Amino acid sequence: MLRVDVEKQLGEFSLQASFSSEGRVTGLFGASGAGKTSLINMIAGLLRPDRGTIVIDGETVDDTAAAIHVPAWRRRIGYVFQDARLFPHLNVAQNLDYGRRMNRLARDPAQHTRVVELLDIGALLDRRPGKLSGGERQRVALGRALLSKPRLLLLDEPLGALDEARKLEILPYLVRLRDEANVPMVYVSHDVAELRQLATQIVMLRQGRVTSFGGVKVLT
């Protein structure tokens, strides 16, 4: 499903990571500064590796030796950022529809209804992002990514900006997403409890290196 073998120098920091994962939810675990976000940005195509390969779903999206670099907009990935990044000039419904429009996909009312119900955002459709709470924003961001029909969903600390209560509000949605949406995910977090609940495989990062890889057991 996902194969990563990359090197990247970012100032003083060097990132060198290699892993492959078939799991439904691959947890990227590590302290802040371990290189999690740089790694996920490389998978997304927002950052270019200095050397190495990235293969998503059998398609090579990065191969420095062969000078292959598929730009982010052609990777068919979904990305949920820590800070939601909803488009402030569009309402919730238009935000949700953005990926479909950009990818020129046919309307899929059944999927739309399913995602809206799964995330409980039906009541928010007419609102502007500025009028949403942090938790609502994050749910809309999840929906927006899902509705672009990605083959891989990347989540970079999607609960990181929320307080404990909001986290507990969103977590069940993520579990449902994992069990019902049928999109493999890469989930970045520094929170052991979160990953225990969600991840099926763990990649542990420390100072830019993969220190262990395996089932959720490696978190102990």
144, 159, 162, 188: residue in contact with other proteins (rule CB under 8 A):
144
Q: Between residue 16 and residue 55, which ones bind other proteins under the rule CB under 8 A?
A: 44-46
H or E element, residue 205? strand 201-206
In the list 11, 65, 66, 88, the residue contacting other proteins (rule: CB under 8 A) is: 88
Q: Are strands 209-214 and 25-29 parallel, antiparallel or unpaired?
A: unpaired
Under rule CB under 8 A, residue 57 binds other proteins = no
Using CB under 8 A, which of 9, 10, 71, 117 touches other proteins? 71
Q: If DSSP codes are grouped into helix, strand and coil, which group holds residue 10?
A: strand
Of the candidate spans 59-67, 117-125, 128-136, 164-172, the one that interacts with other proteins by CB under 8 A turns out to be 128-136
Select 46 or 118, whichever has its Cβ closest to other proteins: 46
Distance of alpha carbon 131 from alpha carbon 128, whole angstroms:
6
Binding residues for other proteins, rule CB under 8 A, total 31
**Should residue 85 be labelled a site residue for other proteins when binding is judged by CB under 8 A?**
yes
Residue choice 103, 111, 197, 207 for contact with other proteins (CB under 8 A): 103
Residue closer to other proteins, measured from CB, 44 or 162: 44
Please state the closest distance from residue 89 (CB atom) to other proteins, in A.
5
The C-alpha atoms of residue 135 and residue 146 are separated, in whole angstroms, by: 17
Contacts 24+ apart (CB under 8 A), 12-17: 13/208, 14/208, 15/39, 15/208, 16/208, 16/209, 17/203, 17/205, 17/208, 17/209, 17/210
| Whole-number Å distance between alpha carbons of 181 and 191 | 23
- Least Å distance between CB 216 and other proteins? 27
* Helix H or strand E segment including 201: strand 201-206
When asked if residue 76 is in the footprint of other proteins (CB under 8 A), the reply is: yes
Choices 20-28, 53-61, 99-107, 204-212; region in contact with other proteins by CB under 8 A: 99-107
Q: Which residues contact 72 (CB under 8 A, 6 or more apart)?
A: 44, 45, 46
Under the rule (CB under 8 A), what is the footprint of other proteins? 44-46, 71-79, 81, 83, 85-89, 98-99, 102-103, 128-131, 144-145, 148, 154
